[in-house]
Amino acid sequence: MLVRCTCRFSSRLASSLPCRPVYEHATRWRQAYSSASHAARAQLDRAIRQPLLERMPSSGSIATAINQPLVGAVRVQWPDGAASSFDYMWLRDHCQSSESMHHVTRQRLLDTASLSRDLAPRAIDASSEGLKITWNDMDAHTSFYPWQWLRRRSYSPSLHCSPTFDKHLWAANEMQQSPPIVDYASVMSGDEGLLDWLDKIHIYGFAFVQGVPVSPEATEQLIRRIAFIRETHYGGFWDFTADLAHGDTAYTNLALGAHTDTTYFTDPCGLQMFHLLSSRDTHEGGHSLLVDGFACAARLRADSPQLYKLLSELPIPSHASGDANALLRPLRPRPALEHDDEGQLISVRWNNDDRAPIGQGKSWQGLWTLDDGRRVSRVVAFYHAVQAWERIVRSKQAEYWTPLEPGKALIFDNLRVLHGRSSFTGQRRLCGAYVNGDDYRSKRFLLRRRLGKQIEDDAVF
């Protein structure tokens, strides 16, 4: 499994590995990990599993603080030698007192806009527990920041490594041998089983559930374990056969290449579930295809960094126009490969069929340097990128083919795993539904917190 994140508090082995590795570093990291001794590996495992903050001593004066009125900030000196600067405004704005932040909702009650520009500490006190500031405002408001809370939110500089990258990027043969599977009974019976399912989806981008009663009702109950169903112009929970309903080729018996769904939404659907309700003898063909889009992206990045960059920058317009009652387009087109503010890939959005005319807008103007050094227009470079991307997506290494089976529901992360199918003849009854990505991530976060597991990005408020 790929791991990510080494930080100032972690072991020597960990700190010899790249902090915030990009994909091309993943192999190096894996090699370092697999060549480490058993003891070093265990140490590394602990360092990764244990959240940064818990590695700080829980008592004793562990940091000192100095008021710096000339720069309008408080400087905190940490015991490991690092230092952070916190602007007065930031400190007051992030005050955790019950007058400043609602104790139930964790919503800010403080009116940030009305803070005085002359705001400054009247007194600061670095105790063993944290930093206490008494402010120079009318009512001498007092703020208290536990050291762990403060360190985790240090921004000048940021002392926090990106969340552990614990997604496992896979190749098809590996999934042929041991795809992620959970039991229906386990998912339905308790939090542990449900979290195991969600963790598998998080790690692999998909998972099967076996032993599902072959009915739409049971399938719907299963997906509702995660969250409510996302309604779209297709409706809510589906139960369909091939009839070109909703004016979309998905509702035919045609073969469909690997794609992600609903690229034409501002927020494409997060999870998708399929469950075959017909027995295998009612139709021929219609095998399902799954491709790990994050693994393909890592390969594209290694093979053709310039084309990867292009697919990370060019907003690709898309549309759904087949249904007389819907004409959908995202508020703003997004690139095929979208990254967060740290440059970490967060979503793949790729459906060549739903792509609208390209070339309009500033991002499409100008030239682009291909990986071989040639300069071409961005439109021409885009077609190079499409071909390089599809070559990877359609490779034997990437294409994981699997038959759907009654009783075995498939769920996948539509922002990571592309799906498709071979054409089929005969009758095929399939049911399924979408769940919002936001609600899926919410559920997993809450379950991990409830069950005392590490949470990737825990500094929520």
Touching its own copies, residues 127-186 (CB under 8 A): 153, 155-156, 158, 160
Query: In the window 23-62, what residues touch its own copies (CB under 8 A)?
Result: none
Residue (16 or 107) nearer to its own copies, CB: 107
Largest CA distance in the chain: 79
Distance from C-alpha of 426 to C-alpha of 422, rounded to nearest angstrom: 13
CA distance 74 to 72: 7
Residue in the structure block whose two tokens are 């990510």: 4
CB of 315 to its own copies, least distance (A): 6
* Smallest separation, CB 110 to its own copies (Å): 9
Q: Is 224 left (phi over 0), alpha (psi -120 to 50) or beta?
A: alpha
d(C-alpha 183, C-alpha 415), whole Å: 24
Q: Which of 191, 342, 423, 451 touches its own copies by CB under 8 A?
A: 342
How near is the Cβ of 146 to its own copies at its closest, in Å? 13
State the Cα–Cα distance between residues 122 and 118, nearest whole angstrom.
11
Nearer of residues 118 and 281 to its own copies, judged by Cβ: 118
Q: What is the dihedral of CA 436, 441, 443, 444, to 10 degrees?
A: 140
- Selected binder of its own copies within 82, 211, 346, 424 (CB under 8 A): 346
> Of residues 58, 189, 365, 427, which one binds its own copies by CB under 8 A?
365
Q: How far is the CB of 438 from its own copies (least distance, A)?
A: 5
Site for its own copies, residues 231 to 270, rule: CB under 8 A: 231, 233, 244, 247-249, 257, 264-267
Query: For residue 157, is the peptide bond before it cis, meaning its omega torsion is within 30 degrees of 0?
Result: yes
Is the distance from CB of 167 to CB of 205 less than 8 angstroms? yes
* The one segment of 136-144, 209-217, 272-280, 356-364 that binds its own copies by CB under 8 A: 356-364
State yes or no: residue 379 binds its own copies (CB under 8 A): yes
Q: Residue 22 interacts with its own copies (CB under 8 A)?
A: no
Q: Which of 276, 288, 271, 257 is nearest to 179 (CA)?
A: 288
CB of 214 to its own copies, least distance (A): 27
Total number of residues that touch its own copies (CB under 8 A): 93
Contacts of 146 (CB under 8 A, 6+ apart): 129, 130
**CB of 257 vs its own copies, minimal distance in Å:** 7
Q: Does 415 bind its own copies (CB under 8 A)?
A: yes
Q: Does 104 bind its own copies (CB under 8 A)?
A: yes
Which residue in 199, 261, 354, 413 binds its own copies (CB under 8 A)? 354
150, HSE (Cβ side, Cα atoms, 13 Å)? 29
Binding mask 431-460 for its own copies (x = CB under 8 A): ------xxx-xx--xx--x---------xx
Query: Which of 112, 176, 279, 369 forms a contact with its own copies (CB under 8 A)?
Result: 112
Distance CA 252, CA 234 (A): 14
Among 113, 177, 178, 452, binds its own copies (CB under 8 A): 113
Nearest Cα residue to 144 out of 111, 107, 106, 98: 98
Nearest-angstrom CA–CA distance, 174 and 162: 28
Q: How far is the CB of 10 from its own copies (least distance, A)?
A: 19
Give the residue, chosen from 57, 79, 146, 359, that forms a contact with its own copies under the rule CB under 8 A.
Answer: 359
Among 94, 168, 283, 408, binds its own copies (CB under 8 A): 94
